[in-house]
Amino acid sequence: KLNATSYAVLGHLAMGPWNMYDLAAQMRRNVHYFFPRAESQVYAEPKRLVEMGLATAEAEATGKRSRTVYAITDAGRDELRRWLSDESRPPRLEFEALLRVIFAPFGDQNDLAAAIRQSQDGAREIFTLGEHICDEYLSGSAPLQRYVIARSMLHDFLWSYAEFIDAWAERSLARIDAWNDESVAEQHRAALEAYRVHTHLARPEPADIPVHDFHGDSVGDSIKGQS
C-alpha cells in the first residue's frame, strides 16, 4: 500500500526526473518543515514505486560513474491524480518543544526557556531559507519556477507558521522572565488570561482558585474573584 510518503516522492517525480541525490535535496528543500518523515524514506521509496509500475529507473552515465534516474510513469500520474482527489486528513502538528512545555513542571524553568528559544531559532531558520526562496522566484531562477502559483501558497503557510512560532516564543519567554518578580497568584492570573483572550465570552475569575507553584505544588494561596 502507498502512504503519504509514497505520494510525496511520486509528486516530486511528477515535477521531473531526478537522480537519488537531487531527489533527496528537493525533498529536504520542499517538505522538511511540515512532512519530515518523507525525507527519511526517500532512498527506499523510489525503488518500491518502480516495482509497482508507478516509476521507472534508468542508469545514466556521468563521467566514470553511473547513477540511477527515476521518472514517473503514466500509471504513476494516474495514481497521483487519484490520491489528490481523495479527502485529505486533518492537520497534525509535530512540535517537540510543546512536549517539553507540557512536562515543564517536572524540570527547571530555565530548561523550559531554553527549549522555547530553540524553537524560535528553528522558526528564524525558516525566515532565512524563505528569503532565499523568495529571491529565486522573484528573479525567475527557482528550479520549479513553473509551479510558482501553487508553491506560493506553501510559502505563505510556512512563513506565517514561522511568524506565529516566533511571536509565541517571545510571549512565552516574557512570561517566564516575569515569574521571578511575580507571586504565584500573579502567575496564575497571567496563565488564566491566556485562556481568557481565546474565548468569546467575558468571564470573571472564579471566586476562589487554589494556586500551585511552577512544579504543581500547593502554596496555600488562592485567586479571589474580581467583579
Q: Would you say residue 91 lies in a domain?
A: no
Q: What percent of the chain has pLDDT over 70?
A: 94
What Rg do the C-alpha atoms of the chain give, in angstroms? 24
State which residues form the domain around 202.
Answer: 184-224
* pLDDT score, position 93: 84
Estimate to the nearest angstrom the gap between the alpha carbon of 106 and the chain centroid.
Answer: 26
Last residue of a domain, one of 85, 119, 139: 85
Tell me the CB-side half-sphere exposure of residue 2, using CA atoms within 13 A. 22
Which CATH number covers residue 58?
1.10.10.10
Same domain, residue pair 100 and 126: yes
Q: Would you say residue 90 lies in a domain?
A: no
Same domain, residue pair 11 and 80: yes
Neighbours of 210 (CB within 10 A): 11
Measured distance CA(51)–CA(68) in Å, rounded: 15
Q: How confident is residue 227, by pLDDT bands cut at 50, 70 and 90?
A: very low
Same domain, residue pair 107 and 168: yes
Q: How confident is residue 203, by pLDDT bands cut at 50, 70 and 90?
A: low
Q: Would you say residue 138 lies in a domain?
A: yes
Same domain, residue pair 130 and 177: yes
Q: Is 68:58 a contact under the CB 8 Å cutoff?
A: yes
Q: How confident is residue 66, by pLDDT bands cut at 50, 70 and 90?
A: confident
> Is the per-residue pLDDT at 197 higher than 60?
yes
14: its cell numbers = 511528477
Q: Would you say residue 34 lies in a domain?
A: yes
> Is the per-residue pLDDT at 205 higher than 80?
no
Measured distance CA(7)–CA(53) in Å, rounded: 14
> Is the per-residue pLDDT at 63 higher than 80?
no
Same domain, residue pair 138 and 167: yes
Q: How confident is residue 158, by pLDDT bands cut at 50, 70 and 90?
A: very high
